[in-house]
Structure 1
Amino acid sequence: MPHLLEIVGINKSFGATQVLKTCTLAVDPSETVVLIGPSGSGKSTLLRCVNLLETVDSGDIFFEGENITRARRTAHLLRRQIGMVFQNFELFAHLSAAENVMLAPVKILGVSRADAHDIAIDLLRKVQIPEKADAFPDELSGGQQQRVAIARALAMRPKLMLYDEPTSALDPEMIREVLDVMATLSAEGMTSIVVTHEMGFARRAADRIVFMEHGEIIESAPSDQFFGGTVNDRTRRFLDQILH
């Protein structure tokens, strides 16, 4: 089976600071890959390079076999196929939950408002808040807002979902509801790359764990193997810190 995404030896610097160092990673269809590592290890930058929000200095990124590394002029077309959920929800405050989800299908895909509304309700049902369709962002909890953000990304029918620490801005009691939605999507076959510190989610939903440090991919292993103790010393020290 061909890879859905293949990252080959990419490097990225901001000024004199190299934040990605010859990173290579392949993601298969329906696979959920969780990126972990200390702050500043390059995880978020890696996601932003995949979605062409950042340009790489060298190396290549392939999506469905096509080299997208320097496809800046067609980045908007690529982002129809690669959804991204950020730490902050970035919802439009003047639009209801349903209207936030409807916006891209109407404006970008040319879907009628009636059909887009049906899509929005179906997706809000999928993220378990259909009753909040008419609520505005300031009437929603943080967890509900993030679920609207997930529904909004899904409205473009992406082939790949990128999550950049989607629960880091949430109160602890709201984290579970967002992770449950993400785990359900993964179980249904949505290909996903998730940057998170939530090891419970990683154990539960990830097919593979990737550990990054200082801009390098230190280790990539199946989830059961990763948590089973057969990891290198640096990864084990990191796990000891966050699991105990």
Structure 2
Amino acid sequence: MNLARLFAGQEATWPPAARHIAGPWSLRDGQGGGKRVSAATLDGAFDPAAVAEAEAGMRALGQAPLFMVRPDETALDADLAARGYAVVDPVTILSGAVADLAAEPPPPVSAFTLWEPLAIMDELWAENGIGPARRAVMARVQGPKTAILGRRKDRAAGVAFAALDRDMAFVHAVAVSPEHRRQGTAVNMMRAAAQWAQDQGATSLNVLVTDHNHAARALYASLNMTDVGQYHYRTIAPQKA
């Protein structure tokens, strides 16, 4: 799978508020929506002298310097490490075939797709740490998109967001209430997302998961989703007292 295409799809389905070009960098105005919509990325050849330009640009946006380092950007990675930037949140991109994931539908009334999200869905996201700034990212998506509501024992149990970029669907902001975890809610939501994606003409369903999220990685492995790429962030390590 083409990594550049994956990164473009990831951004189209989880976009920053604005993107600015500064020399060889893309700088993102995340407006509090998290690392993915705030990190700078290298678009041209790496020049160590240009790092200061990226740092200044991010500070001008009111954001602490944060870089996304993608595969093969070894010179950038080494330079940032030498400047005291620490690795945070290594991420793996996992992908599965939509046809396979949609082949087994979720049980009746266990998962629904709809847009706009219901109030209970916003409440579930908020209870699981996905606040207004991240929900604003969903509202910014221009292409086909949907929210997914998972239900268990006649109660709202989980929520997720999916969006399409050409033939790729991405699922973001998956959250399941603690009392409903490990009960199949997330699996049902992923299968509902796959059925929605199939109806939209997508051929792959993709998720991004931090490497330390072992529960999520186990979930996606159970759905036969496979590793198709990685990246990590670097930010200045906090000073010890």
* TM, length-normalised to structure 1: 0.31
Query: What TM-score, normalized to structure 2?
Result: 0.31
